Structure 1
Amino acid sequence: MAGPDGPAAGRPPRGRRCRRLAAAGRTASDPGARWLCRRSGGSLRMSVLSGSETPRWRRREEGMALLMTLWVLTAVAAMVTPLAVGARQEHLRDLRTVEDVTLRAAVDAAFARALAEIAAGAVALGEERRWRWGEVALRYLVTGESGRVDLNAASPETLDALFAAQGMSEADAEALRGRVLARRRRAEEAGGSTEPPEAGAGPLAHPSELRALLGEGRADDASLYAKLLPDITVWTAASRPAAALAR
């Protein structure tokens, strides 16, 4: 009989006359084939010994194959992950672009509708309207610019009254009025020149430019600008607002 460990893989046990047998679907050349053996000095005692243990070299090959598989999976994951993240970011950018275009188109449509209603006399100044353009819900208010203070033409007294009405101190109101008037003086000086005006030398083109005149570094500039914005304009060329249309 064989020892507890069985015969060495692929070789008959020592001290026995053996021949290889094909068994359990194996060929005689297979390392897992069986051996029919008997002792050299024995008579008829025979035993079938199994050589089915996995050889060490095969276990090493299986381990290397597993490591190679894991390495390939890791490399594929490292290449695919950035592509997936980039595709998601590109998709989000496309969504934001579509939303921006949709909102701009909705605002343009509401503006055209408001102009048509004003021309037809279907809406009064100060009347708020609600309208839906596709999936965008809009609310617009028709007001007269003549009821606002024109930063490019208002008198110093009108500017002082505007700034004081928003709770500015006398010193802050005077400083802001000085910056507005200085901007207007630069605009007048640049008006007779043939050279293109420098930045900040022309008249205010939009009420939002007041924010630059407020200065930076103060925490309350944003809130002050939000308070002033509904009451200012740059398009009426009037030194004072029309009292009948003022808020």
Structure 2
Amino acid sequence: MSGRPARGAALVLVLWLIVLLTAVVGGYALVARTGHLQGRVETGQLQGDAVARAGLEYAVWRLNHPEPALRWHPDGRPYRWEYDGAQVEVRITDERGRVDLNRAPPQLLQALLQALGTDPGRAAALAAAIADWRGADGTPGPGAAGDAAYAAAGRAYGAKGAPFESAAELLQVLGIEPDDYRRLRPYVTVHSGLPQPEAAFAALPVLEALGVRDAALLVQLRGQAGGAGNPAAPDLQRPGADAASAAHLLQRAEGGAVRRGTYSIDSLARLPDGSRTVTRAVVRLQGTGAPGMAYMVLAWEEGASPQ
């Protein structure tokens, strides 16, 4: 009789050991599966980055394709390309088609903000604050936010009094909210050096800010010409001064001269599994300073959803 309690205790111990081993094996299996899934995600991200980078490199080459009729045009129209089973969509914008934060007058900045849906009164205040930020003397203009206003808002800095170094500096300007920056970012630059954008390369909100009457028609023509890179002949035959002006601007964007300017390139890669990766860069096709370099990188963002 004395041996039965010992045998019972041994049985309980064995059962607990089985439970413990099951937990250990289950935990190991979970860790292994998690690591496998993480590895797949990282591999997919690397593949997406490589495909998006290939799209950017291809876009640089197509900007100055040996055959002028096959060149891609830097006015923001989409170009689609297939690479290693992935779908790539590329948009190229000449930086001259964007509003330069360091050179644009406040009236143009206000018009752009209004074209993007900002209330006129607030648009005027934000435009003045942007102009004040880049001002050289630190003296606020009418309606602008001076250093005292920054201090009153609890910010440890005042207006910079120097040029914007990147568009992201807008987030430091008093009154600019993240949503304002998100809407402005695609249409502003610090690289053109122009007080007024070139309409031939500008997007619709910039065209509206410039007061171009044929803005919507021009954007429509770009979309129709996007795949082939050629003007959409049927629509160019539409009567009226607006159609003629739109055709002229479209043809300027499609000029055959060798391109050596500064361009923003967005390359969106869609992999067969449905994942997406974007590479965005601002590149200059001249003055690289190094033999064999096709371009100089001025700005670079990449990832699944770069900011």
TMscore range, shorter length: 0.5 to 0.7
Aligned mate of 1:243, from 199, 212, 222: 199
Residues 241 and 167 of structure 1: is their aligned pair in 2 closer, same or farther, counting only changes over 3 Å? same
Which residue identity does 1:143 align to in structure 2?
Answer: T
Q: Residues 116-135 of structure 1: CA distance to partner in whole angstroms, max 9, x if unpaired?
A: 11111322344421112224
Partner residue in 2 for 1:207: 167
1:70 maps to 2:15: yes
CA 1:183–1:97: 2 relative to 1, 3 Å: farther
- The answer to whether 1:171 aligns with 2:171 is no
Structure 2: where are the runs of 5+ without partners?
139-156, 204-307
In 1, are the aligned partners of 2:126 and 2:175 still within 8 Å (CA)? no
Count the aligned residue pairs: 179
> Any conservation in 2 of the 1:148–1:241 contact (CA below 8 Å)?
yes
Q: Which residue does 1:194 correspond to in 2?
A: none
Residue type of the alignment partner of 1:207: A
**Is 1:184 equivalent to 2:129 in the alignment?**
no
1:22-48 Cα offsets, whole Å, 9 max, x none, are: xxxxxxxxxxxxxxxxxxxxxxxxxxx
- Provide TM-score, normalisation by structure 1: 0.60
CA deviation digits over 1:95-133, x for unaligned, max 9? 332222222221221111111111113223444211122
* Cα distance in 2 for residues equivalent to 1:225 and 1:157: 18
Determine helix, strand or coil for the equivalent of 2:191. coil
CA RMSD of aligned residues (A): 3.2
- SS for the counterpart of 1:138 is strand
Secondary structure of the 2:197 match is coil
Alignment of 1:46-57 (within 5 A): 56-57=1-2
Partners in 2 of 1:141 and 1:185 — Cα distance? Answer: 33
Match of 1:124 in 2: 73
Greater relative contact order (Cα 8 A, min sep 6): structure 1 or 2? 2
**Alignment match, 1:52:** none
Give the greater-gyration-radius structure (CA).
Answer: 1
Question: Contact (CA 8 Å) 1:187, 1:203: kept in 2 or not?
Answer: no
Quote the sequence identity (%). 29
Q: Residues of 2 paired with 1:73 and 1:107: CA distance?
A: 51
- 1 CA distance for matches of 2:28 and 2:126? 52
Is the CA contact 1:159–1:177 (under 8 Å) kept in the aligned structure 2? Answer: yes
Q: 1:73: Cα distance to partner? A: 1.7
Which of 96, 108, 119 is the matching residue for 1:158? 108
Alpha-carbon distance in 2 for matches of 1:168, 1:125: 27
Q: Residue 87 of structure 2 aligns with which residue?
A: 137
Within 2, Cα distance between the matches of 1:91 and 1:185? 54
Question: Following the alignment from structure 1 to structure 2, what is the Cα–Cα distance between the partners of residues 187 and 110?
Answer: 44
Report the Cα distance in structure 2 between the residues aligned to 1:204 and 1:101, rounded to whole angstroms.
Answer: 33
1:203: how far off? Answer: 4.3
Q: What is residue 227 of structure 1 aligned with on the other side?
A: 183
1:243 CA displacement: 2.3
Q: Would the aligned equivalents of 2:110 and 2:126 in 1 still touch at CA under 8 Å?
A: no
Q: Secondary structure at the match of 1:239?
A: coil
Distance in 2, matches of 1:214 and 1:132, equals 44
5+ residue gaps, structure 1: 1-55, 189-197
Aligned residue number for residue 107 of structure 1: 52
**Normalized against structure 2, the TM-score is what?**
0.49
Letter in 2 for 1:210: L
What displacement does 1:145 show?
A: 1.9
